[in-house]
Amino acid sequence: MRRPQVPAADAVIGVRHPVLDHGFVVLVDYMGNDSAIVQAARVSYGAGTKTLRDDRGLIRYLLRHQHTTPFEMVEYKFLVRLPIYIARQWVRHRTASLNEYSARYSIVPDEFDLPGPERVLGQSTQNRQGRGEALPMDAVNAFRADLERVSTDAYGAYVRALESGVARETARLLLPLAYYTQWYWKINLHNLFHFLSLRLDPHAQDEIRQYAAVIATLAKSVCPTAFEAFEEFQLSGITLGQREQRAVASLLDGATFEKACEAAGIALNREDGKPMVSGEGVEFRDKLARIRTLPTSI
């Protein structure tokens, strides 16, 4: 049996795709393709009995109904260079194999992330872990100057520590989160879909979304049909809870949004009568807004 090959993916293997100031993503290797997903799903029936159209329909069925095992037959290996503060978010996904550059054995390069002014924003008033509105330029410039100064001073102290004989595993404590690390990251397609559904979401931090977007493009080159289904049913899909479904039923019967939510038990106002700025009611309103702005044709 020959190893499946995808010309579009083979063309980008080993190519560095820049992200942020000094980061990049490289597709190192892959195993399997769309056909591997179909083959795994049809293992009980034998191969070679279906058309490409049937294969597409099967992949879309598997994803819609969350039959995930066939997607685990496809694997990717990436080389990723990224700031430490993004790496600490990334490893929250415990469904991949990871081997990171070790500052215990090697010298950390003098490269740190210095966000542009457009990335330095105020704290969000609706999301406790996100950014919000623009800040005055004097505050933006002061932050960027402080970050550059602190990072430069820290690396100077790091070098001095190494020169004085301090062990690398101890000297690295001087370096801030803005410095870069890199790793090999291997993951199957099912778990990659989960990673991307979270890290491509508008609520994810902008920097990790940039990495996720590059990874999605590279991974799509291997399994374009599976990614078409993922983008439609997972990435662009909308999940409605039981109360939200009740509210939708009321809306279809002609109720106003407020009455529909009231009938379904979805709160829109706080106890003091003021409108909520977060919570189920706000999220339900956002879901309806997404549906209203969908294109009328594909």
Interhelix angle for 242-252 vs 280-292, to 10°? 50
Active-site residue identified among 3, 92, 199, 270: 199
User: If you ran DSSP here, which 8-state letter would residue 235 be given?
Assistant: I
Supply φ then ψ for residue 60, to 5 degrees: -65, -40
Cα separations (Å) of 203 from 19, 131, 210, 227, 276?
A: 19, 9, 13, 21, 18
Nearest to 76 by CA among 35, 110, 121, 27: 27
Residue 246 known to be catalytic: no
Question: Residue 180's beta-bridge partner residues?
Answer: 83
Whole-angstrom distance, CA of residue 76 vs CA of residue 267: 44
Catalytic residues: 199
